Amino acid sequence: MKKIILVLGIVLLTIASAAWLSNIFGGSTTVINQSPAASFMTGLTQKVQNNLNDIETDFYQSRDCADAARKYEKLSDVVMPYELMNVAASKNKNLNCTTKFMTNEVVFYAWGSFSFCHRPDYDVSLNNASTFGMSGMHPHDKWVTEFNNLNNANLKTRLYKGSKGTLQGLLAKDIDWGFIATPVAINSVQQGTIVCPYTTDPTSEKFLGKYFSHSYPAVRFEVLTLAKGNTDKVREKLNNAEFRKYLSDFGYSFVDFDFTEMDRHNFELDFIKLQKSY
């Protein structure tokens, strides 16, 4: 009996010591993937983790964005790319994915565009096409209805699980045009299997708003990468030429590592506008 008590005492002492050392020297930083594992955003989360090469990290795949929000708010040493469209779409699933954070927890802010694509052998214009594919998480009903009404079009929407699914549907000739996140479309464009004559990037010559009427032609995916516990160190590890090039190659048109209260105000206005589109 005394041996059992002694063993239990040693175990408890070891656990207590580990907890004490963790508080003093810091434990593992949890990197949360807010998006589904199949999402193109998972690549960004993994890239963030890989760049934290001298910080001990563990990867957490959330069940959904509401689980991610709870996890982030609960932990004190954590990093999470927080994607706006994922949060806006969650209201259709009765999920509360809004994450509470302080402005100084924002490591960087970035946004990227979507591309309107078709196969090279399909030469029917967007407003004369029949089928239009896009992710089910995008603001499809209101957006496509308005496009049809304002451009004398009759697009019929087919929904897919993400931009990757939309691209597969386009290549399989299941749809005429696809609304695809630019990072997902890039390789296929370079390979010549699709062409993308329009984009939601308002800084581009191919901006949809220059060719067709719509009240919200600049649909985009926006991400705040949040961090608690070691925000400055995470920012230092990510704010470099190599990671910025990755973001640019990945399809992010704008990146800001100096996120201010005014930037947050504008971000929240974008979020309100996006929510109204669902």
Residue 215 lies in a domain: no
194 and 163 belong to one structural domain:
yes
How far apart are the C-alpha atoms of 181 and 35, rounded to whole Å?
14
Task: Say which CATH number the domain at 124 has.
Answer: 3.40.190.10
118 and 106 belong to one structural domain:
no
Residue 204 lies in a domain: yes
Q: Which among 169, 187, 210 is the end of a domain?
A: 210
Strands (DSSP E) found in 50-105: 57-61, 78-83
107 and 10 belong to one structural domain:
yes
What's the structural domain count of the chain? 2
- Residue 207 is classified by DSSP as B
- The 10s digit of each residue's pLDDT in 187-220 is 999 999 999 999 999 999 999 999 999 998 998 8
Whether the Cβ atoms of residue 71 and residue 226 lie closer than 8 Å to each other: no
101 and 237 belong to one structural domain:
yes
Q: Which among 188, 210, 232 is the end of a domain?
A: 210
Q: What is the pLDDT at residue 104?
A: 95
- Alpha helices by DSSP H, listed for 52-181, are 65-74, 84-89, 140-150, 162-171
13 and 105 belong to one structural domain:
yes
99 and 117 belong to one structural domain:
no
239 and 194 belong to one structural domain:
no
205 and 246 belong to one structural domain:
no
Buried b (16+ CB within 10 A) or exposed e, 216-225: bbbbbbbbbb
State which residues form the domain around 181: 113-210
The upper half-sphere exposure of residue 25, i.e. CA atoms within 13 Å in the direction of its Cβ, equals 8
Q: How far is CA 77 from the centre of its chain?
A: 21
Residue 83 lies in a domain: yes
Instruction: Report, as ranges of residue numbers, the positions in the chain whose pLDDT lies below 70.
Output: 1-26, 92, 139, 278
Task: Say which CATH number the domain at 83 has.
Answer: 3.40.190.150
49 and 187 belong to one structural domain:
no
Q: What is the pLDDT at residue 139?
A: 67
Beta bridge partners of 30: 58, 78
Q: Which among 154, 180, 210 is the end of a domain?
A: 210
107 and 75 belong to one structural domain:
yes
241 and 252 belong to one structural domain:
yes
Q: What integer best gives the mean pLDDT of the chain?
A: 87
Residue with tokens 């990755």: 246
Residue 50 lies in a domain: yes
Residue 97 lies in a domain: yes
103 and 225 belong to one structural domain:
yes
Residue 150 lies in a domain: yes
